[in-house]
Amino acid sequence: MRDKSLTHQGPRQDRSGAIWLIQAFSGLLLVALLLLHMVAHHFIVEGGLREFRQVVDYASHPAIFAITIIFLIVVTVHTVLGLRAILIDLRPSLAARRSIDWLLLAIGVAIIIYGIWLEFIIARL
């Protein structure tokens, strides 16, 4: 007879492995994006980007706009998965776990929508 607990854990282990990989690769991608972000903001213009017009012009550049959107999505995915790992470690019930997943998904989508909306607003200034 098959052990039910092992059968039950199988897909979850696969899923956690996939989540771990997404977390790891998004983290490595973030290191590169963050480095680019820091260099662009602090070293391209002498003294760093501070003046209102400088910041708006920088954010409105099509390439920067696209990179910022990618950065926003990657950082949100990494953050939401990281928060999920911390919350799951608190050993919630299965029902609470489902609620956590949906809540974090909603938060992640809301952050991405807000960020993209804000980028469009800033680009039009």
Partner 1 sequence: MQETQDLESRGPVRARRPLTAWFDVRRDRLGSWAFALNRLTALGLTLYLFIHMAVLYLLAQGESRWDSFILVVRSPLFLALDVVLIFGILFHGLNGIRVSLVGMGIGVRNHRRLFWILSAIGLVLLLVSAWLVFTI
Asked if 15 interacts with partner 1 (CB under 8 A), we say no
Task: Find the shortest distance in angstroms from Cβ 123 to partner 1.
Answer: 10
Asked if 20 interacts with partner 1 (CB under 8 A), we say yes
Residue 60: which residues within 8 A CB-CB, separation 6 or more?
A: 122, 123, 125
**Which of 42, 61, 66, 70 is in the footprint of partner 1 by CB under 8 A?**
42
**Interface pattern 48-87 for partner 1 (x via CB under 8 A):** x-x-xx-xx--x---------------x---x--xx--x-
Give the CA-trace dihedral at 70, 31, 89, 104, to 10 degrees.
-20
Cα-flanking dihedrals φ and ψ of residue 2, to 5°? -75, 145
Vertex 64 angle, CA 20 and 21, to 5°:
5
Q: Count other C-beta atoms under 10 Å from residue 80's C-beta.
A: 21
Q: How many residues bind partner 1 (CB under 8 A)?
A: 34
| Residues binding partner 1 (CB under 8 A) | 17, 20-21, 24-25, 27-28, 30-31, 34, 42, 47-48, 50, 52-53, 55-56, 59, 75, 79, 82-83, 86, 89-91, 111, 114-115, 118, 121-122, 125
